[in-house]
Structures are given as C-alpha cells and as structure tokens.
C-alpha cells in the first residue's frame, strides 16, 4: 500500500466550491481507498491504496468530486513520501517559527513547467519575498505585513497559471507529511 496526498484546489474559499469533509472522505472510501483522513477544511486528503498510476488515481478522484458534488475541482496528487522528501530540501529561511513570516509551498500541476511559471510570475521582489525552486514545488516566504508589496502575491490569484498551481502553508504541510 502506498500513502497519497490529494490537494484539492480552491474549495471552501470565500463561500465558493463548498465541500463537506465527512462527505469527501466518504467519497474517497467509496473509491476503495483506505485510511482516509482530511486535514482542515481546505481540501487536504490523505489515503492509502495499492500502487496505481497517478494520472489514473487523479482522474478517479476528480470524477468522484464532479459526480458527488457537481464541481470541477483540480486535484494534485502526490505520494506522501514525495512531500516528505521535498520538505527535507526546504531552505533554512523557510518554515521557521517566526510568526511575522508567511511560509508557503507552491505546487506546480503536471504540464506546468518551472520556466513557464517563472515567466508568468516574474522576478520576486528581493526586499519582500524569498523564493527557491525544488523539483515541482516552490518555497515562497514573505513578511505578513508586506504581502501586498511582493511581486507574487497578486499574481497567484490573477495570473493565467493560477489554475495550474495550488498553495499550502508550511504548518499544514508539516502536519500532513506525518499523518
């Protein structure tokens, strides 16, 4: 059995794309997945299943969500071990205990290259944000009070690539890496 993490993009945000976590977990269980748990109300689902190709599993989950909740929600699926490996590569400045800093990990969906992402997002503002790429993720930190001064803040919701990324905080990811 392999442990997977499904990151659902854009659910339960601002009253849109509402999905009940108990109903979502039930949907995963009906797909035959085991040890299904969710974390927070923002679409972080962990489950175990025998190994299958990621595209096939992703399609099963997206179809279940479309049929059960009547929503077209992009799902990023990765083995839990892949998240654990990525977190081990976090730069020293990312994920510290400093509450003034907002630490995020940006996940690039399959099909979005780091080059296209970088072109769309532009150069991060060195005075206000720090960025480091690792494989298919981007470590991104900034001071909470200066979020609107960053070059990337507004682009994560307005850029044409926004449908091809999903973002989670350091604390959320550390939690789901160990669930």
| CATH number, domain containing residue 32 | 3.30.70.1280
> Pick from 55, 83, 111: which residue ends a domain?
83
Measure the CA–CA gap between 59 and 159, rounded to whole angstroms. Answer: 25
As a whole-number percent, the residues of the chain with pLDDT over 90 amount to: 77
Token reading at 8: 């659902």
Q: Are residues 171 and 112 in the same domain?
A: yes
Q: Are residues 77 and 94 in the same domain?
A: no
pLDDT at 157: 77
Does an H or E element contain 146, and which?
none
pLDDT at 163: 86
Q: Which domain holds residue 153?
A: 89-176
Q: Whole-number mean pLDDT of the chain?
A: 92
> Pick from 83, 110, 136: which residue ends a domain?
83
For range 59-70, the mean pLDDT: 96
> Pick from 83, 98, 121: which residue ends a domain?
83
Q: Are residues 8 and 76 in the same domain?
A: yes
Q: Are residues 106 and 77 in the same domain?
A: no
What's the pTM? Answer: 0.92
Q: What is the CATH number of the domain that holds 135?
A: 3.30.70.1260
In this predicted structure, the answer to whether residue 137 has a pLDDT above a threshold of 90 is yes
Q: Which residues pair with 107 in a beta bridge?
A: 137, 166
Does an H or E element contain 138, and which?
strand 137-143
Measure the CA–CA gap between 144 and 20, rounded to whole angstroms. Answer: 29
Spatial CB neighbours of 54, under 8 Å, sequence gap ≥ 6: 77, 78
Q: Are residues 93 and 112 in the same domain?
A: yes
In this predicted structure, the answer to whether residue 158 has a pLDDT above a threshold of 80 is no
- Whose tokens are 């994920």? That residue is 95
| SS3 of residue 2 by DSSP | strand
Angle at 108 between CA 112 and CA 139, to 5 degrees: 135
Token reading at 29: 């269980």
Q: Are residues 44 and 78 in the same domain?
A: yes
Number of independent structural domains in the chain: 2
Spatial CB neighbours of 60, under 8 Å, sequence gap ≥ 6: 31
Q: Are residues 29 and 99 in the same domain?
A: no
Q: Are residues 21 and 44 in the same domain?
A: yes
Packing angle between helix 21-30 and helix 54-69, nearest 10 degrees? 130
Measure the CA–CA gap between 168 and 65, rounded to whole angstroms. Answer: 20
């Amino acid at each position: 059995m392999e442990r997977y993490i499904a990151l659902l993009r854009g659910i339960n945000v601002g009253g849109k794309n509402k999905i009940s976590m108990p109903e979502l977990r039930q949907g995963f269980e009906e797909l035959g997945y085991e040890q299904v748990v969710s974390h927070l109300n923002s679409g972080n689902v962990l489950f175990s299943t025998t190994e299958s190709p990621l595209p096939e599993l992703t399609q099963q989950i997206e179809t279940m969500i479309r049929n059960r909740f009547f929503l077209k929600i992009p799902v990023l699926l990765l083995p839990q071990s892949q998240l654990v490996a990525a977190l081990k590569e976090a730069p020293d400045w990312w994920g510290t205990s400093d509450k003034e800093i907002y630490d995020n990990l940006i996940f690039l969906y399959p099909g979005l290259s780091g080059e296209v992402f970088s072109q769309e997002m532009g150069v991060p503002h060195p005075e206000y944000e720090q960025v480091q790429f690792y494989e298919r993720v981007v470590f991104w930190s900034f001071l909470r009070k200066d979020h609107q001064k960053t070059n990337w803040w507004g682009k994560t919701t307005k850029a044409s690539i926004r449908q091809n990324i999903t973002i989670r905080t350091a604390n959320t990811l550390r939690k789901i890496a160990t669930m």
